[in-house]
């Protein structure tokens, strides 16, 4: 591995790849240093058998009509599937009659409207405060909250939740979102399988201690997930308490996907949905025949996902089988088999799925995103004010950090030219 570069990007996920691509294309000598043996981070497409690529992390191009990854996927000649997402349509009326669904969707929309209309000066309380006390749909709204934020609404900042912006257009990449993101790094210098342990920024040149020796550089873009910063999986010398505190205010929620094979799949409509239960918050949602494939994608969030992770991979399958049999009858157990589950909390270089802000901590995103000393720059989904928790939010923060690096680099080089 090279022992110096003008700019080092720590982490090769969506943000790090965006930053690396921008800097490399600007002619700056940069290096992406990635802990895992693959690029993409929480964007991770796995080939499940000969037929289907499956996205274990991000799968939906949210705000697809203005999402930069859509443009990149098209340029890569990927196939974009524009089927509207199951959550914007009614679910199958199995155990959940259509009239009940309409009532639930109305209550959910009203809850979101109350959060969306919060002004910046509103007190930053828990999002759960905006539920109507005693409403019959509160548990299911909370379940949906665990899919959206990875955490129950009592843990989530109302202000931050309300700041999220989305165009309502959601598409998918048939070959995989993860594949698209990783391929965007083609030609950018990358060191794989090299965790950075410490960044020493006490001297004129920055020093990165890695598992594979020391790298010296003029500037660093840090893109690692917030839980790694907060738990000091990556350390700074001198310490950066503001960054650690900001990262701790933006913990990673948990969402895990379980992929099941489904026999006799044609019985169901393509891209249909089922909630496991509608009377409790600890329930999964099941996307049946995604892309028309003979599969089910189960989505588990928050406390439920954490409890199942503690039980190992089999716990997810047992839970899904129990819920699906409850809806579709005992014979259904024979029609499903596990394909894959990725436990994101147990993954040492993720430690969770996507960030949410704790009540009172909505402003931590700006604190985390601010450069330190014009040499340490920060990017990653958690740095995004309006598109946090997404791959396109991560991309935009990576580009923003790269632009800051380029501006600082130009002014440094100008100073040197004047001095010489």
Ligand X SMILES: Cc1cc2nc3c(=O)[nH]c(=O)nc-3n(C[C@H](O)[C@H](O)[C@H](O)COP(=O)(O)OP(=O)(O)OC[C@H]3O[C@@H](n4cnc5c(N)ncnc54)[C@H](O)[C@@H]3O)c2cc1C
Residues that bind ligand X (CB under 6 A): 10-16, 33-36, 41-43, 57-60, 62, 195-196, 223-225, 228, 233-234, 255-257, 344, 349-350, 353-354, 380-381, 389-392, 394
Q: Please, which residue, 32 or 153, has the CB nearer to ligand X? A: 32
In the complex with ligand X, which residue's Cβ is closer, 104 or 354? 354
Treating both helix axes as pointing N-terminal to C-terminal, what angle do 68-75 and 391-419 enclose, rounded to 10 degrees?
Answer: 90
Q: Of 127 and 383, which has the nearer Cβ to ligand X?
A: 383
Residue 20 C-beta: closest distance to ligand X, Å? 11
Q: For residues 127 and 199, which CB has a smaller minimum distance to ligand X in the complex?
A: 199
Q: Which is nearer to ligand X, 58 or 324 (CB)?
A: 58
Rounded to 5°, angle at Cα 89 from 323 and 143: 45
CB of 419 to ligand X, least distance (A): 34
**How buried is 83 (Cβ within 10 angstroms: 0-12 exposed, 13-18 middle, 19+ buried)?**
middle
Q: Which is nearer to ligand X, 96 or 299 (CB)?
A: 299
Cα(82)–Cα(173) distance, rounded to whole angstroms? 9
Instruction: Report which DSSP code applies to 372.
Output: B
| Residue 67 burial (CB count, 10 A) | 24
Answer whether 288's CB lies under 8 Å from 278's CB.
no
Minimum CB distance to ligand X smaller for 58 or for 159: 58
Residue 390 Cβ vs ligand X, minimum distance, rounded to whole Å: 3
Q: State the minimum distance, in angstroms, from the CB of residue 154 to ligand X.
A: 22
Cα separation, 289 vs 296, in Å, equals 6
Can you tell me whether residue 228 is helix, strand or coil? helix
Q: Residue 242 Cβ, how far from ligand X at the closest point, in Å?
A: 19
Residues 6+ away with beta carbon under 8 Å from 64: 70, 80, 82, 167, 169, 170, 171
User: Closer CB to ligand X, residue 262 or residue 394?
Assistant: 394
Closest CB to ligand X among residues 230, 350: 350
Residue-level length of the chain: 420
How many C-beta atoms surround the C-beta of residue 76 within 10 A? 15
For ligand X, give the closer residue by CB, 104 or 171.
171
* Residue 190: CB minimum distance to ligand X, A: 11
Other C-beta atoms lying within 10 Å of the C-beta of residue 7: 28
* Shortest spacing between CB 354 and ligand X, in angstroms: 5
- Helices in 329-390 by DSSP H: which ranges? 364-369
Q: Shortest Cβ distance from residue 418 to ligand X (Å)?
A: 36
The torsion of the CA quartet 406, 366, 398, 305, rounded to 10 degrees, works out to 160
For residue 102, give Cα distances in angstroms to 198, 275, 277: 52, 14, 16
CB of 396 to ligand X, least distance (A): 10
3-class SS shares of the chain: helix, strand, coil, % to 5: 40, 20, 40
d(C-alpha 208, C-alpha 375), whole Å? 13
Residue 402 phi, psi dihedral angles, 5° rounding: -65, -40
Antiparallel, parallel or unpaired: β 213-222 and 206-210: antiparallel
What's the CA gap between 180 and 227, in Å, rounded?
25
Q: Which is nearer to ligand X, 59 or 145 (CB)?
A: 59
């Amino acid at each position: 591995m090279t022992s110096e570069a003008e700019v080092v990007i720590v982490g090769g996920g969506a943000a790090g790849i965006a930053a690396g691509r921008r800097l490399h294309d600007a002619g700056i000598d940069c290096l992406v240093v990635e802990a895992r043996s693959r690029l993409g981070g929480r964007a991770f497409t796995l080939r499940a058998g000969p037929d289907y690529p499956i996205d274990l992390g991000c799968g939906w191009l949210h705000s697809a009509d203005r999402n930069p990854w859509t443009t990149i996927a098209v340029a890569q000649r990927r196939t974009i599937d524009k089927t509207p997402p199951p959550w914007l349509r009614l679910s199958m009326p199995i155990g959940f009659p259509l009239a009940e669904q309409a009532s639930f969707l109305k209550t959910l929309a009203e809850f979101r409207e109350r959060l969306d209309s919060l002004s910046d000066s509103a007190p930053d309380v828990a999002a759960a405060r905006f539920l109507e006390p005693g409403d019959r749909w509160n548990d299911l709204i909370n379940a949906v909250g665990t899919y959206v934020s990875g955490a129950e609404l009592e843990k989530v900042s109302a202000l931050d939740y309300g700041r999220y912006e989305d165009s309502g257009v959601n598409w998918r990449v048939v070959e995989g979102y993860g594949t698209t993101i990783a391929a965007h790094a083609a030609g950018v210098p990358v060191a794989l399988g090299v965790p950075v342990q410490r960044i020493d920024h006490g001297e004129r040149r920055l020093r990165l201690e890695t598992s594979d020796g020391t790298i010296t550089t003029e500037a660093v873009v840090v893109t690692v997930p917030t839980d790694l910063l907060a738990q000091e999986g990556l350390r700074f010398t001198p310490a950066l308490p503001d960054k650690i505190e900001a990262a701790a205010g933006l913990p990673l929620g948990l969402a895990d996907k379980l992929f099941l094979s489904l026999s006799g799949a044609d019985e169901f409509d393509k891209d249909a949905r089922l909630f496991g239960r509608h009377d409790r918050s600890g329930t999964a949602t099941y996307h049946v025949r995604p892309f028309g494939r003979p599969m089910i994608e189960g989505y588990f969030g928050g406390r439920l996902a954490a409890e199942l992770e503690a039980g190992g991979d089999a716990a997810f399958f047992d839970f899904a089988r129990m819920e699906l049999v409850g809806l579709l009858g005992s014979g259904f157990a024979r029609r499903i088999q596990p394909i894959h589950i990725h436990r994101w909390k147990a993954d040492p270089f993720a430690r969770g799925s996507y960030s949410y802000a704790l009540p009172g901590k909505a402003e931590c995103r700006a604190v985390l995103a601010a450069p330190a000393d014009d040499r340490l720059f920060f990017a990653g989904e958690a740095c995004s004010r309006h598109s946090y928790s997404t791959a396109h939010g991560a991309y935009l923060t990576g580009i923003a950090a790269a632009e800051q690096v380029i501006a600082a680099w130009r002014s440094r080089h100008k100073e040197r030219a004047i001095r010489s």
